[in-house]
Structure 1
Amino acid sequence: MSDFSMEQIDAYLAKGLKDRWHMVCPSRFVGDRAVSLRRLGYKLALWREPANGKVHCLEDHCPHRGAPLSMGFVLGDRLGCAYHGVEVDCRGTVTRVPGSPGCKLEGAKAARAFHVEEQAGMIFIYNASQEVDAPPPLRLPEYLNSDEWSHFPCYVEWGNDYRYVADNVMDPMHGAFLHKQSHTMSEGASQAEFAIRDLEQGFVFEKTGQKNVNFDWTELIDDGTAMWHRLEIPYPKTGGPGGNFTIIGMYTPISRELCAVVFWRCRKVSGWQRDTWRFLYKNRLEARHWQVLEQDRIALENMELDAWDREFLYQHDMGIVRQRRYLRRLAAEQMAAAQG
């Protein structure tokens, strides 16, 4: 990291890491008509092929004059620009220039294309540092792709830097204060000692003397292709079948002051228990979970953009420090690789 200033590294991180899959939006956001979204420092055009439902993503910039491709029309795996009719396929290649057939723009790979996956009710793109024909597979955790688990995605857009959300999740102690009125977080000590436990693909930040009482630990996982947090909220029997309530979180920058956030709420249930849990969640629990998220949103959105520069961290913040150092190290490595 010595070759780059902290300001350079943080500016790089503000747009998200490269060579990782990033959540973009819920599947329901993208239909047969193209939509425009800002993510990861790009303005993106996403659309769904009418014939097969496959989602595609290009930078929302026509290579001819820069008009938004999202304003145009869907032609299967291509977009036609509304400005002059230039057609660009999902690989970024210009396939047709109606106003000047045979011109040098036809056949040129002139638009930036992104690999897309759709899983667990969400759309993901691979933020490649350089063009790749085939990205590594997106491997979400078992809680989101196993028949033994049921999950609900909870998507929000918050008015703060996405890293504030990551810090918030890597801070189990705030649950005993900010969320102390919650039906699931009212128990447990308001004082604790924490420790860091290394994993093969990340680490756990956990209370040393308390478990299965409150929001007692957070796990950061980075398998080299995607990154997420996992935590558990203990549930009373009145909360229905499935044991502890597992949350998987991913966060994507929209701008320095806006981010896309998804928390999947998961429980290990199958058969009749799955039906019971899903009914109970939609009818009793979901509103309570939104109340908890609203507490987080208000706190984070009202923090100043330079809050990091005026911190006085203590023992409860070891996980945040470890996480920030990890992200900055990855950013510095990627910046150095880009320089050759």
Structure 2
Amino acid sequence: MRGDSFYFVNFLYLFPCRYIRYMGPENQTSVSEFFLLGLSEKPEQQLPLFGLFLSIYMFTVVGNLLIMLAVGSDSHLHTPMYFFLSNLSLVDICLVTTLVPKMLVNLQTHTKGISYAGCFTQMYFFIIFACLDTLLLTVMAYDRFVAICHPLHYVTIMNPRICGLMVLMAWIISLLISILRILMVMQLSFCTEREISHFFCELGEVMKLSCSDTLINDILGYIVTCLLGVLPFSGILFSYSQICSSILKIPSSKGKYKAFSTCGSHLSVVSLFYGTGLGVYLSSSAVHSSWKISVASLMYSVVTPMLNPFIYSLRNKDIKESLRKFIDRTASSQ
């Protein structure tokens, strides 16, 4: 079962890249490459931006990797909550790796170009990991809901098989949606306009460059936004409304604090992710400044994955203790 799932996921993961290679620019469009305008076109700002984003990337990778190592090395953290957290850390590493290295290369070489296939590949992986972020945060909210509202049935409901199935379904849904969106966009024609007013190949910005009708893609975009934006967020709000209701019924203030502290970190991450994501949506609707939209996108796609490890490690004594033990073991073995 596990092997079949692995090969199925790998097929879905690699198929679009092969499809892009065979359905290249010569068949679908007259454009062979796009140009990413980035956050600034001023030469004197390229080096500071390179240093900033290199630091953000290193902090993100190291921070999330430490979370994964802490969870994997400590048997006390082999629980559903930390299992989902380690998966979220993996997805955050993949998300920033999809976006930041290409940005760093362009900043370092003072170039803006990205190939047609490279642009669509970046969009494909970005959609996957953005969808996974949303679904994993929703699953984590459900985990906290079961833990606080149904504690006697927690072990039965959130057993390892169910947790693994939830993560697998999140991957499959994200992969299928990404494949569908990319294949639909690949049907568009791109003529003379090649400048993308963003620091990465953002789907909406790429579609603006098309000289063919994007109505079907727009409708599909609204449907996906509802399925992976509105519905998961509604599920998170429902979970926390039930959690707050259960916490208020706890007689002691100490018990209330202990119950709320178990979901405080997750609530902070959800607020940050959806707050910045909503900021992107509102800014794209209210303002027409590509720079402001890029900065808003930067917050949820790059900055939020960097802050997640700090939020969980600073607010969670178990994670801090596990990290301390891991660092001590590593230092003593050298």
Using structure 2 for the length normalisation, give the TM-score: 0.23
Q: Larger relative contact order (C-alpha < 8 A, sep ≥ 6)?
A: 2
Higher percent of residues as strand: 1
Higher percent of residues as helix: 2
